[in-house]
Amino acid sequence: MTKNKLVFALISFIILSFSTAIAQEKKSYPKNEFRAVWIATVANIDWPKSGNDPIEKQKADYLEILEAYKALNYNAVIVQIRTAGDAFYPTQLAPWSKYLTGNQGEATDGNVDLLAWMINETHLKGFEFHAWMNPYRATMDLNTAQLSREHDYYKHPEWMIKYAGKWYYNPALPEVQKHLVAVVDEVVERYDIDAIHFDDYFYPYKVTGENFNDGTSFKKYGNEMSVEDFRRNNVNDFVKAVSHTIKNAKPWVQFGISPFGVWRNKSIDPRGSDTQSGQTNYDDLFADPMAWMENCWIDYLVPQLYWSMEHRTASYSKLIKWWAENTTNVALYIGNGSYKINTDSDKRWFNPTEIPNQIDLTRSYPNINGNAFFSAKVFINKNKAVTQLLSDNQYKYPALPYVVPNSRKIVLDVPFVCEKMETVNSTNYVFDFPTHSKIRYILIYAAKKGERIDTNNASQIVDKIAFTEKEFYITVPIKKNFKDPETVYAASFIDYYGNESLPTILNPMLAPQINQPLTNEEYRP
C-alpha cells in the first residue's frame, strides 16, 4: 500500500462511527443470513428440464432459476453435480450424466464444460455456488444396460452392492473411499466453487425384508466392532478424508452436509429428539452428525426438517429446538421442505404462512444462521402467495452469507477510488487493485439524502458485484439516481472467506461518515 493509500485508509477508519443496529431491525432484516435453494438435477427435478434440450435452452433455464431467487434475495445455490456415479462436468472419473446430455457417457455438444459456465454465472448474480454430490449412490435403478461402459458398475463391479432396486458403492472398501475422495478433490481443484455439499444419503434408507450385503467387508475390516459401529466408522472415515482434502486444496471452500432431520429418537436414546421417526441418521443411515461436529470435519450442517411446525411425529418446532441445543463447532442452517407447499397430506402446508413462520422461528434461535429450501422449481412461477409474503417480509432486503466458520480475519485492502468518470446515466468509479486479499465481491451501499451509510442496515445494500478483474484496476459503474441525486454511496470488499473490508464512501462531499457495526458475526464459531 502506498503512503497516500495508507493515509486515506487511516482517515477513513478514524471517521467511522461505530454503532450497532436497532435489535428489532436486525431481527427482522438481518444483514447476514444464509438463504439457499437446492437445484436438484437427478431425474431432471429442477434443472435441466430435459437432458435432450440444447445447451442454450439449458443455460436459459438455469439463468431463470438464478433470476427468480435473486428477486427473492437468496444468496446461495446448492447445485447437484453428481447424482449416481455420474458427472455434470468433463472428467475421467465418471461418465457424463444422462440428465444433462440425454445418454449417460455422451458428452455435451463440443464437450462444453457447462459447470464452469454455471459457476461463473452464479457468482455474477451474487450467489455462492455449493457443489452438491451424492457419493454412495451408483445407480437409480437396476437397468444397467443404459449405463455407460465408463461407469464404475462396469469398471469396478467389485465395488458394488445391490439394494432396494439400486446399486451402491460399498462404503467399507478403502479403494472406494480413495476413489470418491479423488472425485471431490478434482472438483475442488478445478472449479471456483464455494462449498462441497453432501445430502442425507449415506448408507441407504432401510427397506423391510432386505439386507445390505456388506458381510464380506465386515469380516475383513470390522476389527471386532459391531456392524452398526463398523458402518458408522466407514462414514466417519470418509467424511474426515473429504474434509482434509478440501481444506488442503482450498481452505476457503466449505464442506457442508445436509443430514436427515432426526439424529435419534428419544425413545432409543435420552439425548435424542422428542420424535417418533421410522428411520434415523444414527441407527439406520449410519451417519453421525454429532461426531462430524465434535471433530470439526465439516463447516456447516443443514438438517432436513421437512415437516410442518406442529407435525404429530416429527414437529419442525421441536426438531429445530433440538438441533439448536445440540449443535457445536459448526454453522447451523435449517433445511425446509418447500416442495410440500399445497401438495402434502398434512394440510398445514396449504397455509401460505407455513414457510414464513418457519423462517421466523429459525431466526428466534441465535445460533441458527439461515435456511435452505428443497427445491428450486417450487418458487419458479409457482406458489406466488408464499413468495409474495417472503418478498414483503422475511426476505424484503438482501443478506450476505456468513463468513466461513473459524475464518474471520481483517481484510487489509479497502476500496480506494483513484479515478471517477461521469457518463450520462452512470458514475464509473475506478479502484486500485487489491494486493493483500483474494477478493470475491464488491458490495455497494446507498443511503438517501440526510441519512448516513449504515453497514449493518440490509436495506442499504444495493448491489453485490462479482470481482472479475485480474490485475491493475477495478471499474465499478453505479447508475445515477435522478430522483435523489444526493444519494450517498459506499463500497467494501468481500474476500473468498466472506470477510468484509472497511467501507469507503464514494461521494464523501455528501456524507463523510458511516455507521459501522462492531461485528456482524455474533453467533458464529
Return the minimum-mean-pLDDT range out of 107-121, 221-235, 407-421, 468-482. 468-482
| Continuous segment of H or E residues that includes residue 9 | helix 3-15
Residue pair 101/109 in contact by the 8 Å Cβ criterion: no
pLDDT of residue 14: 36
Q: Residue 3 pLDDT more than 50?
A: no
CATH fold group of domain 33-133+170-392: TIM Barrel (3.20.20)
pLDDT of residue 12: 43
Residues of the chain with CATH 3.20.20.80: 33-133+170-392
Task: Give CA 41 to chain center in angstroms.
Answer: 16
pLDDT of residue 511: 59
Average pLDDT value over all residues in the chain? 93
Residue pair 147/153 in contact by the 8 Å Cβ criterion: yes
Output the CA angle 366-367-372, nearest 5 degrees. Answer: 105
pLDDT of residue 137: 98
Residue owning grid cell 434415523: 280
Return the minimum-mean-pLDDT range out of 3-12, 470-479, 491-500. 3-12
pLDDT of residue 471: 81
How many Cβ atoms sit within 10 Å of the Cβ of residue 443?
A: 22
Determine the Cα–Cα distance for residues 137 and 162; give it in Å rounded to an integer.
Answer: 10
Here the cell at position 125 is: 448474480
Q: Residue 23 pLDDT more than 90?
A: no
Q: Residue 521 pLDDT more than 90?
A: no
Q: How confident is the model at residue 21 (pLDDT cuts 50, 70, 90)?
A: very low
Does domain 3-21+409-516 correspond to CATH entry 2.60.40.10? yes
pLDDT of residue 245: 98
The set of residues, in sequence order, having a beta carbon less than 8 Å from that of 317 and lying 6+ positions away, is 309, 310, 361
Q: Residue 32 pLDDT more than 60?
A: yes
Residues of the chain with CATH 2.60.40.10: 3-21+409-516
pTM of the complete model: 0.94
Return the minimum-mean-pLDDT range out of 88-92, 278-282, 474-478. 474-478
pLDDT tens digits for range 393-408: 999 999 999 999 999 9
pLDDT of residue 78: 99
**Mean of pLDDT values over 203-212:** 96
Q: Residue 43 pLDDT more than 70?
A: yes
pLDDT of residue 427: 94
CA distances from 32 to 251, 280, 325, 525 (A): 21, 31, 21, 14
Q: How confident is the model at residue 86 (pLDDT cuts 50, 70, 90)?
A: very high
Q: Residue 425 pLDDT more than 50?
A: yes
| Continuous segment of H or E residues that includes residue 2 | none
pLDDT of residue 525: 61
Q: Residue 423 pLDDT more than 80?
A: yes
Return the minimum-mean-pLDDT range out of 138-147, 175-184, 467-476. 467-476
pLDDT of residue 484: 86
pLDDT of residue 356: 98
